[in-house]
Amino acid sequence: MPERKAQPRTLRPGATVGVLGGGQLGRMMALSGSAMGYRFVALDPAPDAPCGQVSPQIVAAYDDIGAARELARRADVITYEFENVDAGVAALLAEESYVPQGSALLHTTQHRLREKAAIEAAGVPVAPYRKVASLADLKAAAAELGLPAVLKTVTGGYDGKGQAVLRWEDELEDAFRRLALERADSAASPQGAPAAGDAGSPGASEDAPLVLEKFVPFRCEISVIAARSPRGEVKSFPAAENIHVNNILHLSIVPARVPEAIQRKARELAEKLIAGLDAVGLLAVEMFVTEDGELFVNELAPRPHNSGHYTMDACATSQFEQHVRAVCNLPLGDTELLTPAVMVNVLGQHLEGAVGRCTSDDEDANRLGVISKLHIYGKTESKTGRKMGHINLLCKDTADALAWVEQTNLWRN
């Protein structure tokens, strides 16, 4: 049954925004929206979640129906800050409360095969792929697509988890068994369980736990954050060039170091996608850029995104303010880039050094003409590989900001 679209409402400052999820994205959304006069309340199972430190919080599991209804009672509009919240709960809230994003896009982006089909239906290219339900399927798909290729679980997985790069035929069986087991473990947990209605969804391919994607030789990865309001207004932010280390985003460079024509095309594709999907709020569109200048969409995220953090200090409107504007049906803000910028993630192993560097006189920054803006997320436990914050480096030339990152020696491990 098609999802019933909520009748658009315009919510002015003073209204309360309910957030499914209490992580750093919800925290930055609440901080930005609070400056506009909105109130926030988050639902998250962690008692001291980052968002709960700056706004009221309901401490409960994401699939707790009673807690979800309490969130609906206290909020005038509900959004989500990450896509692995329970889509069944989001669907219930869409029926009983005002969720302008609905649950359909959440349902789509929680499953890679559904996501790829939706991207193709919007007329936007993705890398060739095949669904994999058995080892025989994987061998046939590898023979058809060729190696190298990337095997991924259809649900779950982030920062490199739930995937394996396959270069040789003798790697297929081990990778299949490992990822099929990861998929089974994920599905057994409440958060990883299939969303309500999945089993009967046309083309859902629930029988295929994995997907094999042809490896696209690319010169770089870029992403574009697009926004759409219930009134149909669409705007996108400048494309960011993304560099990953150990499958975790390390740097976002803006403007992306690709020709302006490719930057424009990337923004056009992102705007075409968000309109074609009839989405509300933000949509992060990650893309590969080939040596020939072709663009292939890799993944979508229906929320604020790590690669959009540069907007907090470098754009006329941040991605977090834009998301609040979109779900509240306000006119979207100007997305002009005011200064070149480089965003660098601060992981657990970088935290102490990064805080020390940004809270003392920095001769390297002064010499290079770089302004550093530190953002710390308030997570209670620092771990190697865990995102604890980020630094936005404002500069006249991104090469200067990249030189600052290199000269600190903080990101060598």
158 is in an annotated binding site: yes
d(CA 263, CA 200) in angstroms, rounded, equals 39
244 is in an annotated binding site: yes
What angle in degrees, to the nearest 10, is found between the helix axes of 24-35 and 319-327? 70
291 is in an annotated binding site: no
Strand partners, 315: 337
Residues 6+ apart with CB under 8 A from 170: none
The bridge status of strand 77-80 relative to strand 57-59 is unpaired
Among residues 5, 33, 36, the alpha carbon closest in space to that of 18 is found at 33
66 is in an annotated binding site: no
64 is in an annotated binding site: no
The bridge status of strand 39-44 relative to strand 57-59 is parallel
String of DSSP letters for 43-107 = EESSTT-TGGGTS-EEES-TT-HHHHHHHHHH-SEEEESSTTS-HHHHHHHHHHS--TTTTHHHH
CB atoms within 10 A of CB 5: 13
d(CA 23, CA 93) in angstroms, rounded, equals 20
Among residues 218, 110, 224, the alpha carbon closest in space to that of 157 is found at 110
d(CA 370, CA 373) in angstroms, rounded, equals 10
70 is in an annotated binding site: no
216 is in an annotated binding site: yes
CB atoms within 10 A of CB 360: 8
String of DSSP letters for 142-209 = HHHH-SSEEEEESS---TTTTEEEE-SGGGHHHHHHHHHHHHHHHHHSTTTSPPTT-TTSTT--TT--
161 is in an annotated binding site: yes
d(CA 147, CA 169) in angstroms, rounded, equals 8
Strands (E), 348-386: 371-376
Tokens representing 186 are: 């994920």
Q: How far is CA 333 from CA 173, 246, 322, in A?
A: 50, 35, 6
176 is in an annotated binding site: no
160 is in an annotated binding site: yes
129 is in an annotated binding site: no
349 is in an annotated binding site: no
396 is in an annotated binding site: no
54 is in an annotated binding site: no
299 is in an annotated binding site: yes
**Which residues are known binding-site members?**
112, 152, 157-163, 213-216, 221, 244, 298-299
**Which residues are known binding-site members for ATP?**
112, 152, 157-163, 213-216, 221, 244, 298-299
